[in-house]
Amino acid sequence: MYDIIIRAGRQGDGRLVDIAIQQGKIAALGTLPETATAQQTLDLGGRVHVSAGWIDGHTHCYPASPLYHDEPDKVGVTSGVTTVIDAGSTGADDVDDFQRLAAGCKTRVHALLNISRIGLLRQNELADSRDLDMDLASAAIARHPGFIVGIKARMSGSVVGENGLQPLHMAKALQQAHGRLPLMVHVGNTPPDLDEIVALLGDGDLLTHCFNGKPNRILTPAGELRQAVREAMQRGLLLDIGHGGASFSFEVAELAIAQGILPRTISSDIYCKNRIKGPVYSLAHVMSKFLAIGMTLEQVLACVTYHAADALRLPGKGRLEVGADADLTLFEVMSGPTLFTDTEAGARNGDRQLQPLAALVGGELVLTHYGKSHHAFCV
C-alpha cells in the first residue's frame, strides 16, 4: 500500500498520469493498476493539472527584513509553490536567523546569500566596502550548505554607489571558492553598464530582471539583443525573470521572445507589497502572463520546475520521476478574459489564468485558499 495515489492528473502536454507516493518520494508513475491502494487517494479525473512542484527562484520572504519582507509559506505552499529561494534578503549577519525560521516552514526554503554582510538592511547595501567581507560570507556558506544554495549581487548604481564592479568581482571570487555556487546578478540603473556586468558572467550565472524596461536592459534601442549579452549567453548565462514591482516589461519580453530569446527561469521577486497590491500577486499570476504573450504551458512549467531545479542545483526537485521528492503542484488552467499588467504601465489581455489548488511537499498535502473552497478533486 502506498501513502498517496494521485489518479488521472493532466500534465502540461495534456497526457494523463497516475502518481504513487511513498515515504515522501515518487514511488511509481504512469498508469497504475486499479488494484493499487493507498492510505489517501486524490482522483483528479483529468480535470486538474499536476506538475513537479513549482520553484520560485527569486523571492524576498525573510520576515525580519526592513525593506522587502514576507512569510515563506504565504509565497510558498499556500500559493501552490513548493520551494522558494530568497534572493539576497540576508547576508552573513542575519542568515542564521533566517535559517532557523525557515526550518519551521511547510515550504522548502533556501537562500541566495547577499554578498553584503548586512543583507537588505538598506537599499545601498553594497556601497560601503566595510560591509563586503569575504571571510564572513564564506563562513556563512560553510555553516549552511543545504540552506544557502547560491550568491546574490544587486548590481545597480543605487546599490553599489562608488564601488562599481567591485562587489561583482567579490561575488565571482566567492563563487569560485565554493564549487561554483549559482550566482544571481540583479541589473537595474547604471552605472555599471549591463555590458560591463555580463562581461564577467557565464556558465550557470543567472541574470535576473532580464526583461526589465529600463535603459540598462538586454535589448538595444533597435530592439535587438545586445552583443555582450549574446556572448555571455553563449558562455552559459541564464535569463531569469525576477518580475518584481519595477522590473518587467511586456514590450521587452515580446521583442525578446519573438527572436527566440526565452527566459530560462520564471521567478516572481515577490514580497508582501507586490503580492497584495500587485502587479506580481503570485508566481502563478506571473506564469500566466507568459501564456498571454505566446509561451506554451509546457514551456512555462519548465521554467519553474526542472529548469529552476537545474539552475539552482536542487537535487530531487523539478521532475516527475521515480525516486524524486514528492513535491507536486496541483492546478487548474482557468479560461476567461484577464487583463495583465507589467511594471511599465503596459497591459496585455489573456484568456488563461493558472490557479493553484494544492501543493504537496514530501507527500504532505497543503490546500491553497482557492483549493479549500473548490471541490476539484475527490480525497
What letter would DSSP give residue 224? P
Q: Where are the alpha helices (DSSP H) in the chain?
A: 72-75, 95-102, 134-143, 157-160, 166-177, 194-198, 227-234, 250-258, 272-276, 283-292, 297-304, 306-311, 369-372
Binding site listing for Zn(2+) = 58, 60, 152, 186, 209, 269
C-beta of residue 110 within 8 angstroms of C-beta of residue 87: no
What letter would DSSP give residue 240? B
Burial tier of 164 (Cβ tally within 10 Å: 0-12, 13-18, 19+): middle
Cα atoms found within 13 Å of the Cα of residue 230, Cβ hemisphere only: 9
C-beta of residue 155 within 8 angstroms of C-beta of residue 128: no
Binding site listing = 58, 60, 152, 186, 209, 269
What letter would DSSP give residue 193? P
Contacts of residue 1, Cβ cutoff 8 Å, sequence gap at least 6: 37, 38, 39
